[in-house]
Structure 1
């Protein structure tokens, strides 16, 4: 089943701290499509859940919208695909933070990307996404910038050949 992912992405202000009681979990992601491909194919482990996801730009070309197909996979399949991804992997802790009737997910990257923090908010409609006013702890908007996609970050394909600033 194809779904639409409507989201905006930002850096996180330097002075932001995890709110007390905010739930979090560890994620591991590996990418099976090459950087710059029209579609993004990944596998993800979150807790005991293993999924494969395919994402592609929306037909209308709106950078807020991507088509997404996601389905569960067996642990053994995940491990085989994880190995096939080579170095195109990343790990992070994801925090869920309620904001004005929505949920912001803050990703704090680990490994080679340690220090990098981004926040994403998903919406039910493009109109809601456009009307959203980010709180003060959100930094620069990254929505639609392919250099900041998890796919590109996993490949360490940083803008200008260097890691984006945390």
Structure 2
């Protein structure tokens, strides 16, 4: 479960599955709903800035982490299905593929 504030937008996301193929259900929240839920995330929070970079017909989401994960930068690309994912040719500036590696999951990063 993810609770997110991005600008004036507040949302709650439930993620199911593991690895490359995951289902997400996202619900918009009011500011009051967000503020009511926020204390429950104490000790399990991430701070990052997301940049959207156009790449052909796709968008690469680049997350630059702050706080205890300072220095970590992760790029993410969303696909309709696993076949599309396998066919993707990443740009030269991509580094190691960390897809499915628990060390880089937001849950683990938030708890360490």
1:67 aligned partner:
23
1:113 & 1:147 partners in 2: Cα distance? Answer: 12
Structure with greater contact order relative to length (CA < 8 Å, sep ≥ 6): 1
Deviation by residue 1:2-47 (Cα, 9 ceiling, x = unmatched):
xxxxxxxxxxxxxxxxxxxxxxxxxxxxxxxxxxxxxxx1100011
Is the Cα–Cα contact under 8 Å of residues 21 and 81 in structure 2 kept in the other structure?
Answer: no
Q: 1:126 offset after TM fit, Å?
A: 1.7
Task: Identify the residue that residue 104 of structure 1 maps to in structure 2.
Answer: 60
Look up the match of 2:7. Answer: 47
Aligned-residue CA RMSD (Å):
1.2
Task: Show structure 2 runs of 5+ residues with no match.
Answer: none
How far 1:80 moved relative to its partner?
2.2
1:99 deviation in Å? 1.2
**1:148 match:** 104
Give the TM-score normalised by structure 2: 0.93
Give the alignment partner of residue 122 of structure 1, picking from 61, 65, 78. Answer: 78
Calculate the TM-score normalised by the size of structure 1.
0.64
The structure with the greater share of residues assigned to helix is 2
Q: Which 4+ stretches in 1 moved above 4 angstroms?
A: none
Where 2:86 maps in the other structure, the secondary structure is helix
Equivalences for residues 151-162 of structure 1 within 5 A: 151-156=107-112
CA distance in 2, matches of 1:83, 1:97: 32
Which one of 105, 125, 131 corresponds to residue 87 of structure 2? 131
Structure 1 gaps of 5+ residues are 1-40, 157-166
User: 2:52 touches 2:60 (CA, 8 Å); kept in 1?
Assistant: yes
